[in-house]
Amino acid sequence: MTAPLLLAPLPKHVVEACDLSLAQATKVAEAIVDTTGLAHAFEFSLTARTGAPRQVSWRTLLVVFLTAGIRGGDMHLTLVQKVAAEMLRDGLLPAKVSYCQLWDNLDHFTTAMDAGTVVSAHNHEFDVNRVTGELADCPAGCTGGRTITRELFAALLLQASAFPAGIHPSTTVFALDSTDKETWAARRSWDNLPDIDRSSGAVHPKDEGEKVESHDSFTTPGWPLLGYDGRAQHTVDTDAREGYRSGKNLRRKEVFIGFDEHIVTQVPEFGAGELPHTALSLVTAPAGSDKAAAGILALDALRNVGYEVCELLSDRGYTYLAAEKWANALRARGVKQTFDLHKNQRAVRPGPVMGSIWVDGGLFSDALPQHLRNLPGFRLGISLEDKIALQAKYNERIPYSFVPFGEVGTARGTQRWRGPALRRLVRCVNNPESMRLGYDRPTTSCKAAYTEPTTGKTVVPCGCSKTVTVSFDDYARERQDELFGTTDWAASYGRRTAIEALNSELRTHRGMNFRRDWCRVRGAARTHALVTFGLVGVNVRMLRDWYTMRGQADPWMVAIGDTTDPDFSAIHARRTPPPRKRALHVRVTIGDIPRRTEPRRRYPLVAKHHRDAANIPVPAEPDAAAANRDTTADTPPDQPG
């Protein structure tokens, strides 16, 4: 019975053979804590200089929390204390850590971070003028005095866990999304329609005709309370609020009470190879609060720990918000974005000059044919063949588009755009040079230029040969570098599945699952700290599995000098694995663009050897069709053989 199991390929998710031992997890946790410098910051900011010395150091406490996160499972403080007891038993801790010490210190440093009293430690002695009492400036190279916010706290730990010694970020593109975390406190009342924060333009799903699974409103005496932010407080958790969570597994969108966890992960550069999708930034905000503010906090935390962020991929929960709160805030930070458009954003609007129009966030000449102006969106569940055919229609818009060129006028907030005839993409009667191009370029139906009889000025009615100056504020919410719907746009936006995959790992496969009782604390600060420790553990375990599945050594074992790992390639003796599928953004760069528009033949949902055994007939083909048939399409991708 063991031979078939040994021949099976490595599982996609949790690999039991790759689990970390307690000693390995402790060493990894110690390396992460020492890399971040948080123990020194807590010691510098939170340790009293008088009275009895601390019984347990901040470094030891952080190592215990991180070890529990790396080992996986729920982050109950009772379970964390059990991990500490096991570490003490195995000689991995210098002193006993009690439940009260865990609770008191968790409350201590989370409260202090929210109060802004935690700062990074200085690496030098202070020089004080004995006469004036003034403190001398820090020497060059000192990083002390930086305020440690809860977002920076999470970014430092997540960065240290995602990039062991010798590994550095190799991308400037990141993906952002939020997932729900219910509060542990019991609900005391319920609003059928939550009072979400609408200051940035967020709307209730029911206002757009979306069905939401929600109970009828009910209250108990004295509830709901009026929270500190002016919103309804339905539990004794003063930070938890009502919000919406997306429908999954055939369930509709629901109302929940708790927090939105905004998480950022890395994605490959356009055309680059695959990367492990680890969590790099975390912001915990009350459910239903301003997503734009939380997303900007997550982005700034990335930049504060040294990441270069050039592009951000996010869903319509962020990009549909007011331009001044989201799109303009990203542009001010030099970050471009690729995103899907809401149905209300897809429209034809007048352009900045005569002969130009805005279509789905892109600037076009009005020579754009009518049949290409109002194309349908990519509905949920669309087949691959229909998706490719629809992308081909959007690609037909490209020759008629304006594109930015020249330097950006940051002082004036403008950018120059060139028309399609100037780029030699179309043949237009108002540009004689373009009419000498080959007939492989589309010929526009533009009216010829004419002279205004009253003024005597020449009027060019089309925009094909015009150069226009566009303000950053013109349809800033809908604009993006890639034209919406095209193959290049689909390839770029398709990389956002990285954050969806990470959320799936967190909620289903990695021991976190964000159940209501995954952690039993109240308040956004304490919840944020425990979720951070859990994400650190997920990063470590995902890196271990990601490299093991590719036949490489676990980088964390290399970093801590551990050589006890067996040869996993020998334990999991693979059959010859099928080649990994290339991502669409990689296929586009090498010219392997999917062009299939005909539907694939349908086959019974049974394996090939079962079909042969059952003598299931295969439809006959004419000889000519059989000779020209693509044999690689015979076997559906989800069936062997």
Q: Which two tokens stand for residue 140?
A: 């060059």
| C-alpha to C-alpha distance for 278 and 261, rounded to whole angstroms | 15
Taking phi first (over 0 means left), then psi (-120 to 50 degrees means alpha), and beta for anything else, what does residue 376 get?
beta
| C-alpha to C-alpha distance for 608 and 635, rounded to whole angstroms | 9
Enumerate the H helices of 311-361 as residue ranges.
Answer: 316-319, 327-332
| C-alpha to C-alpha distance for 636 and 599, rounded to whole angstroms | 12
Q: Which residue has the tokens 């979306």?
A: 210
Query: Which residues in the chain land under pLDDT 70?
Result: 1-18, 124, 141, 249-250, 569-578, 595-641
- Find the angle CA(504)-CA(509)-CA(514) to the nearest 5 degrees: 70
pLDDT for 633 equals 40
Q: Which residues contact 531 (CB under 8 A, 6 or more apart)?
A: 75, 181, 261, 282, 284, 519
pLDDT for 381 equals 84
pLDDT for 575 equals 52
**What confidence tens digit (pLDDT) does each residue in 340-395 have?**
999 889 999 999 999 999 999 999 999 999 999 999 999 888 888 899 999 999 99
The Cα-based distances of 401 to 178, 203, 342, 363, 540 in angstroms read 34, 32, 21, 6, 46
pLDDT for 572 equals 60
pLDDT for 218 equals 82
Mean pLDDT rounded to a whole number for the chain:
86
Do 362 and 416 form a contact (C-beta atoms < 8 A)? Answer: no
Phi, psi of 254 (to 5 degrees): -125, 165
The residues facing 458 across adjacent strands are 451
Do 40 and 124 form a contact (C-beta atoms < 8 A)? Answer: no
Q: Which two tokens stand for residue 376?
A: 């349908």
Q: Which two tokens stand for residue 311?
A: 């592009």
CB count within 10 Å of CB 363 equals 25
**Count H helices, E strands: the chain?**
20, 17
| C-alpha to C-alpha distance for 232 and 252, rounded to whole angstroms | 23
**How does 572-610 read in b/e, with b if 16+ C-beta sit within 10 Å?**
beeeeeeeeeebbbbbbbeeebeeeeeeeeeeeeeeeee
pLDDT for 308 equals 96
Amino acid type, 587: R
**3-state secondary structure string across 374-386:** CCCCCCCCCCHHH
Do 602 and 619 form a contact (C-beta atoms < 8 A)? Answer: no
Do 165 and 559 form a contact (C-beta atoms < 8 A)? Answer: yes
pLDDT for 627 equals 46
The Cα-based distances of 75 to 68, 242, 338 in angstroms read 7, 23, 35
pLDDT for 12 equals 46
Would you mind telling me the total number of residues written for the chain in this entry? 641
pLDDT for 246 equals 84
**What confidence tens digit (pLDDT) does each residue in 81-131 have?**
999 999 999 999 999 999 999 999 999 999 999 999 999 988 767 777 777
Question: How would you classify the pairing of strands 414-418 and 403-409?
Answer: antiparallel
Helix (H) or strand (E) holding 253: strand 253-267
Q: Which residues contact 361 (CB under 8 A, 6 or more apart)?
A: 341, 345, 475, 478, 479, 480, 484
Phi, psi of 526 (to 5 degrees): -65, -40
